[in-house]
A and B are shown apart, each in its own frame.
Chain A
């Protein structure tokens, strides 16, 4: 076969199945073709979670309400950590809502391969569809929980006049997007690294819990002003996102364009590394999972 036929040959085929790991590019065209599957996965997640419950989606808001009350009692009153003068309900509610979205999405996407081995072993579709659908269904849950925060926020802003939101509220979609992409990036990286050797799984489950304490969820960042830990907490890419959120909505918080850009770059990097690793692993994981 001469060179010309090889070239025309490769152009003719729609799919080439090989064991070569060289293909690191994401097949966006194919992802797009399966967009209906993505939306159906989201729909399935949303409607199956609370099937056969009486309260249904109300459970989405009961969780953060109960958690907020617990935090108010434990961290606010017993431990007396303080909230930088922000009404306690608002302070904990925003932290819990943001953290909940990040950790839920991370936890579920980091099990993509192991939990879906059955379906992956039987049929092909772009594997990335599944973690993407988890990010999207998590976003729906987040939106409902955010409405709860929104109501409390309106109350404290308009009725109580206790907080001072500002124009940075407009960057909310960017902040949420960063959270979504970061949890996705971490999640698919972890699931790719734990298909064969599961050791990491043990680390991840409590690691995510511990990471909450390295993020200003239950304490205000201002409390670290003169602490040697301040820089470490800042290096946590979640910190600037959480703080920007608080600053925009409540007027109290640490807003730094520099650290936001740091988070953005970090997110993009983890996403790229995650997608590349995921693409490599998805071809063969069925054999080792």
Chain B
């Protein structure tokens, strides 16, 4: 056995029961109890479906995690990525001993501290000082350890003035800073962190990431769960990619992240229709709509730098129509990012193609949806097709130490000089 392994997860699975606790669960519990009392296996462990949100519920049980095995060596920083519902939080809960796996075991060497949220156990009536002790103790520190770090914590949080004021009078920013400061000064052998970087302003985020980097270089082990690929890329040597409760990929971070990006895109890059189900009317029939990212490698993800072509093929059912196309690009939240029109042209009956080029370095990262409108004689709507295509733009690998979401609806590359 490798002496350096500090966490060994062995075939862990976690089953959850769906629906409400009620008389139905009681009868299941009784059956389960009866089976175990006779020395048989739990009958409900055999059933249960994969935790895939796109499928309909077909069972009372679901496996949030299924047969996960991995090792973490001392000093490693392991990233855990995956979409919402992939099992990341469940795995974290198991690792931080909040709940136990249904099957399998996790063996750990050394002290674990987990940060599933900052400020656990903060009491609004207690002062900053009292809460530092309270929170520190909940996270596993002794009074002595906290006292020796106290000044550092207060300094890191920048709340010297308010240290004897109840935290209910703190601004939310101060509250979060204080909470993170306590957590950041934990000195466990293994630190488990969940998305805490999502809180606080950019400056504070930077501070937190720096602190985590320090922890990592100290030879301590970090498990970091995040949606933020930038942060994972920078902090983690190796990464575990979860999908529907299974390990989809594991290994060197950039390889795993690329795999993740190419697999998890909820894109609808191509739509082709047969005559019968094609959207259209007596004037126009759609044939095909597609997004063509200009990528060097087909499996690469679309990033903010990627040039994207959008192409529509349609049949004009009447002759000599003065037609133009209007394209709407919506963000995931439903805001219209832009609306562009093609030039109007008199078209003959038959097949036609329309193509829009969206340059690289225009869109911000996010999910975009395209709607299309056909206009005749520049005034009359002929056909409107909503949500015809969807694509996701990812952030590119960014240099520097700030990994927050870039603000703004678009992210154009403009000439911004400084002399």
Q: Do A and B come from one complex?
A: yes
Please list the residues of chain A having a beta carbon within 8 angstroms of any beta carbon in chain B: 5, 9, 12-19, 33-34, 36-37, 39-40, 43-44, 47-48, 51-52, 119-125, 196-197, 283-284, 286-288
Query: Which residues of chain A are within 8 angstroms of B16 by Cβ–Cβ distance?
Result: 287
Q: Is the CB of B93 within 8 A of A17?
A: no
Interface contact A18-B100, CB-CB below 8 Å: yes
Q: B121 within 8 Å of A by Cβ?
A: yes
Within 8 A of A (CB), among B136-178: 137-143, 166
24 contacts between A and B (CB under 8 A): A9-B1, A13-B8, A14-B109, A15-B108, A15-B112, A16-B107, A17-B95, A18-B104, A19-B103, A34-B137, A44-B126, A48-B126, A51-B125, A119-B121, A119-B138, A122-B98, A124-B96, A124-B98, A124-B114, A197-B21, A197-B26, A284-B100, A287-B17, A288-B21
Which B residues are in CB contact (< 8 Å) with A19? 100-104
| 16 additional A-B residue pairs with CB within 8 Å, beyond A13-B108, A15-B112, A44-B134 | A13-B107, A15-B108, A16-B105, A17-B107, A18-B104, A18-B105, A33-B142, A36-B142, A36-B143, A47-B125, A48-B123, A52-B125, A122-B116, A124-B112, A283-B99, A287-B17
Closest beta carbon of chain B to A21's beta carbon, Å = 9
* Residues of B close to A196: CB separation below 8 A: 21, 25, 29
Query: Contacts A37-B138, A40-B133, A122-B117; is A14 near B110 (CB within 8 Å)?
Result: yes
Is residue B94 contacting chain A, with contact meaning CB distance below 8 A? yes
* A195 to B: closest C-beta gap in Å: 10
A121 touches B106 (CB 8 A): no
Contact B105 A17 (CB under 8 A): yes
Q: How far is the CB of A278 from chain B (nearest CB, A)?
A: 15
CB neighbours of A44 from chain B (8 A): 123, 126, 130, 134
B343 to chain A, nearest CB (A): 58
Tell me which residues across on chain B come within 8 A of A51, comparing CB atoms. Answer: 125, 166
Contacts of B228 in A (CB 8 A): none
Give B115-134 as 1s and 0s: 1 = Cβ < 8 Å from A's Cβ atoms. Answer: 01100110101100010011
B352 interface residue (CB < 8 Å to A):
no
> Contacts A51-B125, A123-B120, A123-B139 given: A286-B99 contact, CB under 8 Å?
yes
Q: Residue B108 contacts which of A5, A9, A16, A37 (CB distance < 8 angstroms)?
A: A16
Structural contact, B99 and A287, CB atoms closer than 8 A: yes
- Inter-chain CA distance A28–B98, complex, in Å, is 19
A120→B140 CA distance, assembly (Å):
13
Compute how far the CA of A44 lies from the CA of B166 in the bound complex, rounded to whole angstroms. 12
- B1 close to A5 (CB less than 8 A): yes
Partner of B100, one of A36, A37, A283: A283
Across the interface, do B97 and A124 meet the contact criterion of CB distance under 8 Å? yes
Q: Whole-angstrom distance from the CB of A118 to the nearest CB of chain B?
A: 8
Knowing A18-B101, A284-B100 are in contact, say whether A40-B137 is a contact too (CB < 8 A).
yes
A41 to chain B, nearest CB (A): 8
B21 contact set on A, CB distance < 8 A:
196-197, 288
Cα distance A48–B97 when bound, in Å?
Answer: 29
Cα distance, A113 to B202, chains bound together (Å): 37
By a CB distance below 8 angstroms, the chain A residues around B117 are 122
